[in-house]
Amino acid sequence: MLNYTLDQLVRTTVWLTAERNIDSLLEKILEEAMKITASDGGTVYTLEDDGMLHFRSSITKSKGINKSTGKGNMDIPPVPLERKYVVANAVMDHVRINVADVYHDNKYDFSGAQKYDAFNSYHTTSMMIIPMEDEKGKVNGALQLINAQDETGNAIPFDKEQEDLIAALASLTAVSLNNQKLSKDVYDILHSFVQVMVGAIDMRTPYNANHTKSMVRYGERFVAWLNASDSEWKIPEEKIDAFLMSIWLHDIGKLITPLEVMDKATRLGSKEDDVMHRISTGRLMERIRALEHPEEAEDAKAAIEALDKAQELIQKVNSAGFLQDEVLAEVEEITKITCLTEAGERVPLFTPEEHVSITVRKGTLTDEERSIMQSHVSDTARMLTKMKFRGDYAQVPAWASAHHELLNGRGYPDHKSGDEIPNEVRILTIIDVYDALTAEDRPYKPPMPVEKAVGILDSMRDHGEIDGDILEMFKESKAWEKKSE
């Protein structure tokens, strides 16, 4: 028996270190302990943050009872750390409890076991409780075994020699629980950090506040659709969180993007007030000129009319999404206008910088501002490479910072193309473009209808910019649709 259980312990150690699901781990531990001790029943408890022992798995073979949190049928209330509960004594005192007959023991209170017996028409005889104590002496749970049995199925006392083996098994379980808790803590910290960073971006600007959250939602739905359809493009389970993490972090570089660029809702932006002040002053000075120099009244009147038309045109084009050639020609004409200042000098209606801004054909950003805005991906890469992403998360910085790369090499910042762009980035790019087109919080344009946005994505596919296979699946998945609760 001893050699067998030692062999079992070795094999158990192997899968114990490999098992990632805590519920499965605890259920297997209990089954193994019951096998080693030939016991009829057993329960595994974990000590949780509320200071109570929670039932995680409970088995009584003779009654056909098999409950666990993993199965979702564990409906037993937790046990407080109080002396009236025998398992609590084992945990609080860090002691092993091995009783031959619970009905003839005066050291501990076994009323709980006796109530269980009465309720379930069962008879508890022997009991062994081993605290799950890690290498630092910290107890994080307990193994409770009931009714060791002989070969004929009769209840007998637990073998004292088996205590060390079960204690070793319990200790391994405690260490494994600690490791998994530590892993979860790190996981939670990382995700909390990401949420804080994304929240910081949202707080900086009212624009794009929902962009990342929307993208994550689309990403979750699309990945679920891919994996449910068993597509060759599906993302392995162990990489899903890393992929979603890359979506959460893809715009982290915007933390250091100047707000005057990121929040620029119009072509002139903050320069609009200067231009309008110049026009107002110019009109006033022209009226004064007409009064002081009647012979110049007609010329002053024409100048005022020109300024009025210029103001009207500026207000029209300042926030327009796209300027046609004829409109740009009109704008170029008004750039030739001069304004009379309070000092009696004539200055151009626009400074060179304002001239560049007001004549932007598409969007609100000049080439220089667009370059600053585009640098957020390089900033994202630089910021994320300072963090230590390892294992399944090793590619998060590369994925997050490549979402503006295009298959034909015309993207940025590194002009990657073709096979240089992994599937995860191809998906991220399509999701990013879709949300950018349909978002309701962009400063420079109204949201685009789904059909038109899909049409633009189709055009990008036709130009070799995005992956056509992924696009078709994205369209089929309709990951953007809000699901009814």
30 and 161 fall within a common domain = yes
Question: What are the structure tokens assigned to 306, written together?
Answer: 């020109």
Which one-letter DSSP state was computed for residue 418? G
Domain count, the chain: 3
- CA dist., res. 309 & res. 315, Å (int): 10
Looking at residue 17, what is its pLDDT?
65
422 and 471 fall within a common domain = yes
Prior bond to 413 cis, omega within 30? yes
22 and 39 fall within a common domain = yes
Is 431 a domain residue? yes
74 and 109 fall within a common domain = yes
Of the pLDDT bands very low, low, confident and very high (cuts 50, 70, 90), residue 177 is: confident
Spatial CA neighbour of 337 closest among 360, 365, 311: 311
33 and 78 fall within a common domain = yes
Looking at residue 5, what is its pLDDT?
53
168 and 281 fall within a common domain = no
Tens digit of pLDDT for each residue in 193-209? 888 888 888 778 766 66
378 and 336 fall within a common domain = no
Domain boundary among 364, 397, 415: 364
User: What is the average per-residue pLDDT within 378-389?
Assistant: 92
Domain boundary among 334, 364, 394: 364
Is 197 a domain residue? no
Query: Residue 47's beta-bridge partner residues?
Result: 53
Is 99 a domain residue? yes
Looking at residue 74, what is its pLDDT?
80
Give start and end residues of each alpha helix (H) in 206-252: 211-228, 237-249
Domain boundary among 314, 344, 364: 364
34 and 169 fall within a common domain = yes
CATH of residue 102: 3.30.450.40
374 and 352 fall within a common domain = no
Is 194 a domain residue? no
Which one-letter DSSP state was computed for residue 417? B
Enclosing domain of residue 269? 265-364
30 and 104 fall within a common domain = yes
Spatial CA neighbour of 91 closest among 57, 142, 137: 142
146 and 48 fall within a common domain = yes
Q: Mean pLDDT, the chain, as a whole number?
A: 90
User: What is the average per-residue pLDDT within 330-344?
Assistant: 95
Of the pLDDT bands very low, low, confident and very high (cuts 50, 70, 90), residue 7 is: low
Is 433 a domain residue? yes
Spatial CA neighbour of 27 closest among 58, 3, 51: 58
Looking at residue 274, what is its pLDDT?
96
Q: State yes or no: pLDDT of 120 exceeds 90.
A: no
Task: Estimate the crossing angle of helix 162-204 against helix 237-249, to 10 degrees.
Answer: 30
User: What is the average per-residue pLDDT within 37-44?
Assistant: 95
312 and 359 fall within a common domain = yes
Q: State yes or no: pLDDT of 56 exceeds 90.
A: yes
